[in-house]
Amino acid sequence: MMSQVIEVGAEIPSMKLMTATADGPREVSTDELFKGRKVVMFAVPGAFTPTCSAKHLPGFIQHASAFAEKGVDALVCLAVNDAFVMGAWARDQGVDEKIVMLADGSAMFTKALGLELDLTARGLGVRSQRFAMVVENGVVSALYVEAPGGFDVSRAEAVLAAL
């Protein structure tokens, strides 16, 4: 059963996620990440998957400076993977410091947003829908959720054009 999808004007849930560091996985609180900042967060169904690796993440890497020029303090990539996978994917994609790579290993944050995608029948378990959102001081100011199998409204170029 799907949760209620977060809406524009709603606060981001206060939760803990994980990120990979040189010293191993580190907890990151959503409060620390979103409060007092303008953040663009995009989510992918999975690290190392075809569209995510060929188009979604690379678009945000390529346009990172353009987002900064529009007043975005941070770019965040979210996936229902563990911090080790997200760290390996970041290294593989040459993310450097351009994007905060967040691991939502048990999909708790994704479910709290109401944006989970059940791919159990395809052997992938519960994942995140493909989406992007703009969060200003912890409040969702724009939300772009893809239609199943789509890659249009959450791509970097579309989000950048809407800012």
pLDDT at 1 over 60: no
Is residue 52 part of the annotated active site? The answer reads: yes
pLDDT at 30 over 60: yes
pLDDT at 118 over 60: yes
pLDDT at 2 over 60: no
- What percent of the chain lies above the pLDDT cut of 90? 74
- State the pLDDT at residue 109: 96
- What percent of the chain lies above the pLDDT cut of 70? 97
What average pLDDT does range 11-19 have in this prediction? 96
pLDDT at 54 over 80: no
Lookup: tokens for 113: 């947003």
- Phi, psi of 162, rounded to the nearest 5 degrees: -85, -15
Identify the structural domains of the chain with CATH numbers, from first to last: 16-162 (3.40.30.10)
Catalytic pick from 17, 44, 47, 52?
A: 52
Q: In residues, how long is the chain?
A: 163
